[in-house]
A and B are shown apart, each in its own frame.
Chain A
Amino acid sequence: MRELTKKGIFITLSILLSIGILTQSGCSGERKKKAVYVLVDISGTYSQQFEKVKGVVRYLLGSLLPGESLALARIDSGSFNEKDIVARMSFDLRPSIANSQKRAFLESVEKFGEDIKPSEYTDITGGILQAIEYLNETQANQRYILIFSDLKEEIKKGQIRDFPISFNGTNVVAINVTKLQSDNVDPREYYKRVEDWTKRVEEGGGTWKLVNDLNHLDSIIE
């Protein structure tokens, strides 16, 4: 009888504890850790779109959790460069510190937005390579590259960018891909640019998504 009573107590407490844990945390599903790298085209044709970038960055700062990472870099003439990273932050596990880091990140982005100098060329591939490098370092299992660009790559003479890239499961999201004046003349150019990048990303083992409606920011990151 005593043994039964003791067992009863511990079984009840274990059940209560387990129910609590399981109901609070969910009993299945892989743990998600996200890392997001935002690439911003600052070439002459695109530099006017920075307000939209800030909106997306604000959304990301609000949705990313402690322990996750966010970086913002510009696409200029030679983007495969650490100097092009405007701000990068792996948020602390403590929520209060993470909140302070988010404030500091936002401040850096706003400061950058105040003084954008349009670049002569647009090295998207270099930026993507830098992004993949950063994302791999974070060891996140959900990696995103958000590209704010018209997707028209213009590289300096001598730069080699025509080679396959290993995306290794990275999700590439092209946001607000603007149409150029030449696209209006021949829309096929726009579709070709998008198609080329889609093919390049998917062949490299990544996923590609195009989001032009910024009212649905929640569809950027799942």
Chain B
Amino acid sequence: MTSDFWVNLIEGQPELSLLIWVSVLVIVMYVARQPAHQMILSLARSLRNAMRLMARSVMFAEKQLKLRNREVLLSQGQQHAERFIEREFQRVEILVNRDLSGYPSLQRDLKEQITRIDEDYVHSSEVPPKPPEWLKAIEAVASIPDNGSPVVAKILNDIHSTLKKALDTDLQEYRQANRERHSLLKKMMPYWRSLTNSLNSVEIKITGLEQRSIIIDGQMQTYEDIRNQTDYAERMLSSSSMTQFFISGLALCLAIIGMYVNFQLVALPMEEMVGAGSYLGNSSIRASDVSALFIISIEVILGLFLMESVGVTQLFPIIHLLEDHKRKMIFYIMLSFLFVFAGIEASLAYMRDMLAADREALSQLLTGVEVAEPPLRWIPSLGQMIMGFILPFVLTFVAIPLESFIHSFRTVMGLVTVWLLHVLVVIIRFVGNVVFGAGKMLMNAYDLIIFIPLKIERTLGNKLVKKKEDTISGVLTHQFEVGEDK
């Protein structure tokens, strides 16, 4: 059906034809107004309800995911707190074993020192010299009057001199005793110092233990919060996960740069081994590139196992649960493999330098330009070799940020998904409301198209109503007048 059909309803009168069609359409629309309105309204309502239902489902999914995220987060936090507390207790055990195991000997030393000091102190106590027993007898003799007898005077003089001599001797003895006592007290000084040092060391050890116990207390509080599933614990763990995610992500980015540098060192010499023109199947992926990446990946994996065997990371629970001697064995095996790979990389780095020099020489030959050999050419060669040797060991530490990244990735992704679901709910609700509003607008637009018949209907309706009202009021007036007359 072409447009000519609509335009040429009356031959040569397209405007009139269109007008007729429009009129027909308006009449049809006017007739079908009520069912059309109902249809539009019900369609809009259905769509809005469907959207609401959908939003409710998404909200439910969001709620479930939130719960699941919370469970995972708290579980991870609990594990982490357990590990931390376990580690702290291990440290305390080490402290106790190292420091307090010597406590009995320390106690013995202290006792010995105290005994010695005590003995010395006893020895050094001042004993006042007793007056001689014969002093009273002498005093009695000395009080005898001489009565001018020279014999008695002589005897008394003798007694006096004897007494004086005895007193001198006593005084000397007393001084000697004092000297000895002072020397004993002097000897006590190192014991006192030693005793003070011993007590100081005990104090330091006890303080160390006290600090550890404060840390354990704090961690136990966190652990209890996690066990009680408090909101505070959830917020804290969530924030910690976000921080971990970004920090470990940054560290991984740096590690990837390191891997790229490593790749550059290895890729060119690998061409010598697998051929520069070898490709994987029919693709354009060079076999030498894949080999170089394979070597680097192996180094990273060796690093992962090495860190796992040491107990720094816990990515592989099987390794973590092995006995200590087996883990030690794995550690040595991984370390020896790493040494082998580091040696290979160092030699490849040297080969790379040689190849680069050869390539440079060829390009000089081809261009016909002779360039003198740069001085100290061995420095970059040596630098490359050292880098080739060190980088595998550096890459070992990728395991630490990788573990943090994997653990925090789950939490962060959970949070992001919850956020996305929330946004989806908002969008669905918004669309539902927009659809409902559009339905109402469509109804108004429908009425706008048929405004002429609607206007006529209203005018006629008003007149009819007015006529009816007039009739009713006329009847009422008539009845009123009749009533009055009566």
Q: With A25-B285, A30-B284, A103-B365 in contact, do A16 and B259 touch (Cβ < 8 Å)?
A: yes
Task: Check A20 against B285 for contact (C-beta < 8 Å).
Answer: no
Task: Check A103 against B275 for contact (C-beta < 8 Å).
Answer: no
Task: Check A2 against B366 for contact (C-beta < 8 Å).
Answer: no
User: B216 on the interface (CB 8 Å rule)?
Assistant: no
Interface string of B294-334 (1 = CB under 8 A from A): 00110011001000000000011100000000000000000
Q: Please give me the residue from chain A that is nearest to B290 by CB atom.
A: A21
Q: Please give me the residue from chain A that is nearest to B405 by CB atom.
A: A12
Task: Check A66 against B315 for contact (C-beta < 8 Å).
Answer: no
* Number of B interface residues in the complex (CB < 8 A): 46
Task: Check A20 against B283 for contact (C-beta < 8 Å).
Answer: no
Distance of A9 from chain B, by nearest CB (Å): 6
Residues on B with C-beta less than 8 A from A59 are: 366
Interface-located stretch among A88-96, A150-158, A163-171, A186-194: A88-96
Complex CA gap A31/B283 in Å reads 7
User: B143 on the interface (CB 8 Å rule)?
Assistant: no
Task: Check B263 against A94 for contact (C-beta < 8 Å).
Answer: no
Q: How large is the interface on A (under 10, 10 to 19, 20 to 34, 35 or more residues)?
A: 35 or more
Query: Dominant SS at the B interface?
Result: helix
Q: With A9-B304, A9-B315, A25-B284 in contact, do A96 and B293 touch (Cβ < 8 Å)?
A: no
Complex CA gap A2/B180 in Å reads 78
Complex CA gap A6/B260 in Å reads 24
Distance of B215 from chain A, by nearest CB (Å): 27
Residues on B with C-beta less than 8 A from A106 are: 365-366
User: A98 on the interface (CB 8 Å rule)?
Assistant: yes
Residues on B with C-beta less than 8 A from A4 are: 410
Task: Check B267 against A24 for contact (C-beta < 8 Å).
Answer: yes
Task: Check A99 against B359 for contact (C-beta < 8 Å).
Answer: yes
Distance of A104 from chain B, by nearest CB (Å): 11
Query: Dominant SS at the A interface?
Result: helix
Q: With A13-B297, A13-B300, A93-B276 in contact, do A58 and B366 touch (Cβ < 8 Å)?
A: yes
User: A113 on the interface (CB 8 Å rule)?
Assistant: no
User: B84 on the interface (CB 8 Å rule)?
Assistant: no
User: A177 on the interface (CB 8 Å rule)?
Assistant: no
Complex CA gap A53/B478 in Å reads 128
User: B277 on the interface (CB 8 Å rule)?
Assistant: yes
User: B212 on the interface (CB 8 Å rule)?
Assistant: no
Complex CA gap A13/B293 in Å reads 11
Interface string of B419-462 (1 = CB under 8 A from A): 00000000000000000000000000000000000000000000
Complex CA gap A109/B22 in Å reads 89
Complex CA gap A58/B282 in Å reads 30
Q: With A12-B402, A13-B301 in contact, do A21 and B362 touch (Cβ < 8 Å)?
A: no
Contact among A12, A20, A26, A98 with B293 in the assembled complex (CB-CB below 8 Å)? A20
Task: Check B277 against A24 for contact (C-beta < 8 Å).
Answer: no
Residues on B with C-beta less than 8 A from A21 are: 285, 289-290, 293
Q: Please give me the residue from chain A that is nearest to B293 by CB atom.
A: A20
Residues on B with C-beta less than 8 A from A30 are: 284
- 12 new A-B contacts, CB < 8 A, other than A20-B293, A95-B276, are A8-B410, A12-B406, A13-B301, A16-B259, A16-B297, A58-B366, A62-B362, A62-B363, A68-B277, A95-B271, A96-B355, A106-B366
Question: 22 A-B residue contacts at CB 8 Å?
Answer: A5-B406, A8-B406, A8-B409, A8-B410, A13-B300, A21-B289, A21-B293, A24-B267, A25-B285, A30-B284, A58-B367, A58-B368, A61-B362, A62-B362, A66-B276, A66-B277, A67-B277, A93-B276, A94-B272, A95-B272, A99-B362, A106-B365
Query: Which residues in A have some Cβ–Cβ distance to B below 8 Å?
Result: 1-2, 4-6, 8-9, 12-13, 16-17, 20-21, 24-26, 28-31, 33, 58-59, 61-62, 65-68, 93-96, 98-99, 102-103, 106
